Amino acid sequence: MAVELDVFVGNTTIMDEEVYQLWLDGYTVNDAVRARMEGGVLDEFDATADVLLSDTMDQYRTFQMCERLLHSPAKLANQLLFQIPPHRQTMLIERYYAFDDVFVREVLGKKLSKGTKKDLDDISAKTGVTLKSCRRQFDNFKRIFKVVEELKGPLVENIRQHFLLSDKLARDYAAIVFFANNRFETGKKKLQYITFQDFAFCAGQLINNWTVGAVGEGLWLLPLANMDVDLDKEFLQELKELKVLITDKDLLDQHKSLVCTALRGKTKAFNEMEANFKNLSRGLVNIATKLTNTKDVRDFFIDLVEKFIEPCRSDRWTAADVKLYLTHYTNSAHILDTFKHQVVWDRYMGVIKSCIFKMYHD
Amino acid sequence: MPGKLKAKIVAGRHLPVMDRASDLTDAFVEVKFGNTTFKTDVCPKSLNPQWNSEWFKFEVDDEDLQDEPLQITVLDHDTYSANDAIGKVYIDIDPLLCTEAASIISGWFPIYDTIHGIRGEINVLVKVELFNDLNRFRQSSCGVKFFCTTSIPYSYRAVMVHGFVEELVVNEDPEYQWIDRIRTPRASNEARQRLISLMSGELQRKIGLKVLEMGGNAVVGYLQCFDLEGESGLVVRAIGTACTLEKFSSGSASITCPHPSTAPPSNACNSPKDGKELVFGEELPLSSGPPTPFRALPSSSSSPPPFSPSKPCSRQSSSSDTDLSLTPKTGMGSGGSAGKEAGPLKTLLRQQTQTTLEQREFPFFTLTSFPPGFLVHVGGVVSARSVKLLDRIHNPDEPETRDAWWEEIRQEIKSHAKALGCHAVVGYSENTSICEEVCILSASGTAAILNPRYMREGCLDVGSIDHRFDDPSPPNCGFCHIPYDELNMPFPAQLAYCYQCRRQKVPDVLFTTIDLPAEAAVTGKGCLIQARLCRLKKKAQGEVNATAISNLLPFMEYELHTQLMNKLKLRSMNALFGLHIQISVGENMLLGLASATGVYLTALPAPGGIQIAGKTPGDLNNEQHVAAIQKRINDAIAKNKELYQINPPELTDEGVGSPIPEPRQRSRIFRSHSESSDELSELDLSHGKKDAFVLEIDDTDAVEDIHSLLTDAPPPAGFHSCSTETMPGIYNWTSGIQMFTSVRVLRLNNTNLTNQGLNKIFTDLCENLLKSFYFKLRSTVPCCLCHLNFTVAVPEEELVQVSVTAVAMTFDKDQNQEKPPEKATTKGGSETEDQLQFPLELSADSSSTSPQPSKISVSSLEHCSPLPEGRSRSLCSSRSFGVGSVTMVKMTPLSFLPGTRIIKYLGIINMFFIRETTSLREEGGVSGFLHSFIAEVFAMVRAHVAALGGNAVVSYSMKDCVLMENPNKNQAQCLINVSGDAVICVRETDQEQTTNTGQTCGTIDGAT
């Protein structure tokens, strides 16, 4: 005696959030049943394992049928096959596009290509996220990347509208797309301590300040495809002008003395700051001037760590020290009378400052 | 009256990719009606084509309008090879032919392909212009309204109930035509879908004609079925109840509203009855046993019963009722047991009866609930089955054989009703079970005496009648009173004075196929009661097979009945409502499943316990065993009393309610065969407790019975279940509903199964299904699974299939036990006046006009509905959500939606789909295949309802779900037939706002 067929279909599609999560996490039906039993569903409700298996199978089938629609969430709202109340649709989409920080951390900045997809089993083994779940997350990245690649307008807004995601999730995806597009290196050992949320914050800063879309509304009319995805080339060119801050000896000294005057007595690390000023300044300005090279753009974060964060850390600066230092470092440049590139400087340092604040932790 | 049908193809969306090279589709549309076809332009390279076609106009006869569906085919244009079909949409335009239903069909329809399922959607507009025609010889019946609902639809009033209408049409099944060998599965499926659509259109038209002949304007309780007879053909048959309905107008509404007094007391020749009899009184045409015996009644019994003179108005109805119930008996008595010979009977009837009801060939009603006062007395269940051998239908135009078969069965039902002293059968239904060339035809209903005022011409003035029939007896027990003569009971039963009015006699147990009358008083809550049974039979062919089956049938009925009775007693209840017994035939077994809602009717005596009797009283061991079982049973009864809150008021035996002092007759042999009551009393098994139900555990059967009795698990806390529309004892429904369909198929691998083993498997199957439902719906508690409709089938030799459609409805836990008084009036079909404040035109137009609650109502809705579904039901909220533009369509097998009021019926939904696959594994096996098919069927029903402008389907049912699979070939095919009434409903609290919102929304819709 065997159950040959067993289905349960509701007019309003019945979905259990717990089972959905298990499905998303890549559990097989049997594993899901086991997990649910351990979760105590059976204790709350007097039922047998058979009932649980049957329910799990039904739900898994439903999710599988829904998956196609979830690939273009707008369809979910006007398809006719499943009657799902709007707030449930929102839940389905939001959860489907949710990802594990540990996983995304592994692929952040990598090319979303077949090659990377092949490495997913390694990533799965390393992160403990099931391969199935890895694939879903990776495909989500790729899908969103492909769609917004061809769209005009603000990146976050595009993602939110096309995939009906929450603001937070849309911002995270914008970061992923931005990182993938610019291929920022994030995998080096030195960068391991930086979480995805740190990077996402930095990406937000870059998108909001260093891309074409960031400049002003007038540019919206330009027939540029990836306003939010690509860095503003013109701006990158202008960054070269900052070189004067380190090449002009007078300017460098003047800058140093202004900063030191302002800092004196305000921090225990003053001596180290004073000693390291030229090194650090050179580091930051060099990063700026090299950003016209794609290769150096990729190394942006590693450069920040190597040229600034690491030296500071070895001198045991506190986060407050870093903040204090960078604030005065940025502001003092305005007082330099021969330094004419205030706008570019602010645009550059604004982002650098907030990125470093975010990244300066253990 | 010819008409002009106009169709416009607006756009498509989510089309499948038909050209692999470009990942796009060059779609165009063919619109076909009858033999005329129009085409749209090709919309190149788009998955979301905008055709915006002209209006295609078809000038057609209304006969065709009724029969034919509008057929829309979406194709992919291919320059070099044949165009590929993407899929089809069949639109039944019947709802447009009725002025009171929908006026336009407009909306997105799923494009359906029998091989690939739903492939995108298409937006279509359809209108009909009818020209008036007074041709009296017309073949069409446009304008007759059809309702699946088995009660008088809300917002209508039954001016007159004309009675039974039936029709059947037959044809060759395209699947079995020679051409099927050379055409593709798709072509064959489509031919079949189209044929069935045509046949049901034709059937509906013919039924409509009959209704017009009778002077009616509507069919209520319309029940259409398909018999797939394989080689021998395809039968589409339908039954219904012809009525003259009237939309409430201010005048009539105010008259009907005040609690219409129930039923004339109707003298009633009281005789005992118990329902159960009838179940067994069934007669197999192939067997030659005598029908239920009745004795010729002495003419004296037609004089008023001793206590009736006390009633002021008994005479009035006695002229009709008494005669009615007695004359046939006399007639048949003289005819001996030849009751089913229709000829003499009919002549006799014609001679001796006066009322219109009696002149009808079949005084049957497919209704299961009635306007107050319609139902006077209920006798009990009557049923008949017959086993037939199918042969090829030679001439489709003359379906006489099938007609004759049904005629025979109906005659039998009618004679059973007579035997119960009843002149009518209510809650009537028919069904078949086919295996190879053997077919079991079944019919069942509830014998009843009806108030003739609904049946007679010239008695339409409801108001005045109400004054005439001021009934002294409490209205809520009348239907329980026995309709037959207590001195000449057609079978043995225990009678007692009604526990409510204490005047009339009532049986100790009452079985019916109808819903619990709204006015009935019930103690405690009800519950689902099921009897399940499997019987093995030898494989055989032809006549031998048919004989074997018909020999088994009576035993199955008997055992099912015993099970029902035991389970009823175990729950301390005394009546069954909504009883449905299905017997399904397979090659090597018969399956029987009886479902009903058990209740404790306050008017009926308290059921005695169940007493276990050992076979050999001397044996000590045995006695201990018996005592142990007895204890378990007593415990179970006590527990159930508590569970279902059955605490009837204690009545003293000295009161009028005491049992009638006459020999108590308790018999396990219901097929009584003698005239003498002395003989019957010999079979009296009731010893010990006065009315205990005795079970003798003298054989394995009984042990098994007791076992199965005790294995039925009660629903978990917070759940209730019933097979009727609503649960007796629960009145404060909240608006959360979840309709579902579940199908389970078991493969019996074990080849040497015994009857017992099989029974166990079958019982477990049903019980496990119920457990599954409770588990899945656990988040909706407290809730009740209503209208649990189980269908069993034996699709292949070792397969057992059970399909269930039901609705889970939430209710307020802190309910007061009293039912709200207004509920009764609403249920009875009377409406309050504010109903009339809705101008027709507000709902007359467009897809989503009226049912839009305003913002305020959305919040109130959230407040009261624990179900997530309820929260977002309103169109407004779904609209506001991004691109979402899909109307939420609620579906329910019930005739109403709790918390809402139906303001308009848009027409009947009757759809038939075939789905086939040659890649079963890829679709997730049979479960995956059926799961998506059922979801697709729901989607198509919802889409059609939304296109008619509706937001709900009531009285939804899945009448067929025939699954054939061949996993080795990776193939499966499934046929599903569903029906229901498309309606517009509004939340009861939104009444006032609707007028405004309706209008504003109307303009919005116009703009989009």
Would you say residue B171 has pLDDT above 90?
Answer: no
Interface check B754 vs A, CB under 8 A: no
Question: A114 CB contacts (<8 Å, ≥6 apart)?
Answer: none
b (16+ CB within 10 A) / e for B618-650:
eeeeeeeebeebbeebeebbeebbebbebebee
- Range from B70-79, B453-462, B669-678 carrying the lowest mean pLDDT: B669-678
Binding-face residues of B in 51-110 toward A, CB within 8 A: 108, 110
Q: Do A4 and B747 touch (CB under 8 A)?
A: yes
Which burial class, exposed, middle or buried, applies to A192 when counting CB atoms under 10 A from its CB (0-12, 13-18, 19+)? exposed
Give B126-142 pLDDT, tens digit per residue.
998 877 655 555 666 77
Q: Mean pLDDT across chain B, nearest whole number?
A: 74
Lowest mean pLDDT among B286-300, B356-370, B987-1001: B286-300
Q: Is the pLDDT of residue B306 over 70?
A: no
Task: Please compute the mean of the pLDDT values over residues B362-382 and round it to a whole number.
Answer: 87
Average pLDDT on B593-602 reads: 92
**Composition of chain B by helix, strand, coil, percent to 5:** 30, 30, 40
B689 has pLDDT over 80: no
Give pLDDT tens digits for B719-775: 999 999 888 888 888 888 999 999 999 988 766 778 888 888 899 899 999 999 999
Looking at residue B222, its pLDDT comes to 94
Q: Report the relative pairing of strands B424-435 and B438-450 from DSSP bridges.
A: antiparallel
Name the range with the highest mean pLDDT among B168-172, B178-182, B229-233, B428-432.
B428-432
Which residues have CB under 8 Å from B659's CB, separation 6+? B494, B495, B496, B605, B690, B691
Interface check B741 vs A, CB under 8 A:
yes
Q: At what angle do helices A131-149 and A167-182 cross, to 10 degrees?
A: 80
Q: What is the per-residue pLDDT across B690-715, written as a single tens digit (0 to 9) for each?
A: 445 666 665 556 666 666 667 777 88
Segment among A117-131, A143-157, B11-25, B136-150 with least mean pLDDT: B136-150
- pLDDT category at B779 given cuts 50, 70, 90 is confident
A242 in contact with B, Cβ within 8 Å: no
Q: Identify whether the C-beta of residue A217 lies closer than 8 Å to the C-beta of residue A185.
A: no
Tell me the pairing of strands B952-966 and B890-891: parallel
Suggest the residue from A3, A8, A46, A68 to mutate for an interface test with chain B (most B CBs closer than 10 A): A8
B930–A7 C-beta distance less than 8 A? yes
Q: Where are the alpha helices (DSSP H) in B527-570?
A: 542-570
**Residue of chain B minimizing CA distance to A43:** B775
Instruction: List C-alpha distances in Å: A235 to A104, A177, B115, B245, B581.
Output: 29, 21, 58, 79, 82
Interface residue B943 vs chain A (CB under 8 A): yes
Residues within 8 A of A (CB atoms), B 878-907 only: 878, 881-886, 888-891
Inform me whether the C-beta atom of residue A338 falls under 8 Å from chain B C-beta atoms. Answer: no
pLDDT value of residue B877: 34
Distances (CA, A) of B635 to B628, B640, B875: 11, 9, 51
Residues 89-108 of A with CB under 8 A from B: 89-90
CB pairs under 8 A between A and B: 164
Q: Report yes or no: A57 at the B interface, CB cutoff 8 Å.
A: yes
* Interchain proximity B924–A78, CB inside 8 Å: no
Question: Is residue B371's pLDDT more than 70?
Answer: yes
Q: What is the pLDDT of residue B671?
A: 35
Condensed to tens digits (0 to 9), the pLDDT of residues A14-64 reads 899 999 999 999 999 999 999 999 888 877 777 788 899 999 999 999 999
Distance from CA of B923 to the nearest CA of A (A): 10
CA distance B837 to chain A (A): 31
A80 lies within 8 A of chain B by CB:
yes
pLDDT in tens, B317-346: 323 333 333 333 322 332 233 333 333 443
**pLDDT single digits (tens) A300-353:** 999 999 999 999 888 888 888 888 899 999 988 888 878 888 888 988 999 999
Averaged pLDDT for residues B474-485: 75
Please answer yes or no on whether A77 and B885 come within 8 Å at the CB atom: yes
Measured distance CA(B835)–CA(B525) in Å, rounded: 32
How is residue B441 written in tokens? 């035809």
Residue B661 pLDDT greater than 70, yes or no: no
Contact B776/A at CB under 8 A: yes
Q: Is a pLDDT exceeding 60 seen at residue B310?
A: no
Q: What is the model's pLDDT at position B703?
A: 65
Strand partners, B733: B811
Nearest to B869 among A12, A47, A50 (CB): A12
pLDDT at B179 over 50: yes
Q: What is the pLDDT of residues B383-416, one digit of tens each?
A: 999 998 887 666 666 667 888 899 999 999 999 9
Res B704: pLDDT: 64
Query: Is the per-residue pLDDT at B282 higher than 60?
Result: no
Give yes or no for residue B358 having a pLDDT over 70.
Answer: no
Cis bond before residue B265 (omega within 30° of 0)? no
* d(C-alpha B452, C-alpha B263), whole Å: 10
Asked if pLDDT for residue A6 goes beyond 70, the answer is yes
Query: What is the distance between the alpha carbons of residues B546 and B117, in angstroms, rounded to a whole number?
Result: 39
- Which of B149-163, B613-627, B929-943 shows the lowest mean pLDDT across its residues? B613-627
Residue A352 has a pLDDT of 92
Residue B416: CB partners within 8 Å, gap ≥ 6?
Answer: B278, B281, B282, B291, B292, B382, B383, B384, B447
Token pair in block for residue B849: 């006009």
Q: What is the pLDDT of residue B257?
A: 33
A49 touches B at CB < 8 Å: no
Interface subset of A 162-221, CB within 8 angstroms of B: 164
Please report which confidence band the pLDDT of residue B808 belongs to, taking 50, 70 and 90 as the band edges.
very high
Q: What is the pLDDT of residues B492-526, one digit of tens each?
A: 677 888 887 887 888 888 999 999 888 888 888 89
What separation in angstroms does the CA of A354 have from each of A201, A320, A326, A348, B498?
9, 13, 10, 11, 87
pLDDT of residue B134: 53
- Whole-angstrom distance, CA of residue B529 vs CA of residue B724: 11
CB B141 within 8 A of CB B218: no
**C-alpha–C-alpha distance, residues A17 and B779, integer Å:** 12
- The answer, yes or no, to whether residue B272 has pLDDT greater than 70, is no
ipTM of the complex: 0.88
Rounded to the nearest integer, the mean pLDDT of chain A is 88
Q: How far is CA B513 from the centre of its chain?
A: 10
Mean pLDDT computed over B239-258? 64
The residue of chain B with its CA nearest to that of A68 is: B14
Helix (H, G, I), strand (E, B) or coil at B335: coil
Is B942 touching A (CB cutoff 8 A)? yes
Question: Is residue B857 helix, strand or coil?
Answer: helix
pLDDT of residue A130: 93
User: To probe the interface with A, which of B758, B869, B942 has the most A CB atoms within 10 Å?
Assistant: B869
Q: Which of A6, A45, A80 shows the shortest C-beta gap to B110?
A: A80
- B-chain CB neighbours of A58 within 8 Å are 776, 931
Instruction: Give the confidence band of A210 by pLDDT, cuts at 50, 70, 90.
Output: confident
Q: Which of A9-23, B90-104, B601-615, B686-700 has the highest mean pLDDT?
A: A9-23
SS3 per residue for chain A: CEEEEEEEEECECCCCHHHHHHHHCCCCHHHHHHHHHHHCHHHHCCCCHHHHHHHHHHHHHHHHHHHHHHCCHHHHHHCCCCECCHHHHHHHHHHHCCCCHHHHHHHCCCCCCHHHHHCHHHHHHHHCCCHHHHHHHHHHHHHHHHHHHCCCCCHHHHHHHHHCCCHHHHHHHHHHHHHHHHCCCCCCHHHCCCCHHHHHHHHHHHHHHHEHHHHCHHHHHCCCCCCCCCECHHHHHHHHHHHHHHHCHHHHHHHHHHHHHHHCCCCCCHHHHHHHHHHHHHHHHHHHHHCCCHHHHHCHHHHHHHHHHHHHHHCCCCHHHHHHHHHHHHHHHHHCCCCCCHHHHHHHHHHHHHHHHHHCCC
Please, what is the angle between helix B342-352 and helix B314-334, to 10°?
A: 150
Closest chain A C-alpha to B589 CA, distance in angstroms: 16
Contacts of B561 (CB under 8 A, 6+ apart): B276, B279, B280, B531, B594, B670
Quick check: B182 contacting A, CB < 8 Å? no
For an interface test with B, the pick among A3, A12, A162 (most B C-beta atoms closer than 10 Å) comes out as A12
Which of B976, B940, B956 is CA-nearest to residue A81?
Answer: B940
CA angle A47, A49, A51 (to 5 degrees): 60
Report which secondary-structure segment, H or E, holds B946: helix B925-947
Residue type, B187: A
Using the beta-carbon criterion (under 8 Å), do A47 and B771 form an inter-chain contact?
Answer: yes
CB contact under 8 A, A79 and B750: no
pLDDT band at B541 (very low <50, low <70, confident <90, very high): confident
What pLDDT is attached to residue B361? 75
Please, are residues B817 and B799 in contact by the beta-carbon 8 Å criterion? no
B residues 801-830 near A, CB within 8 Å? 801
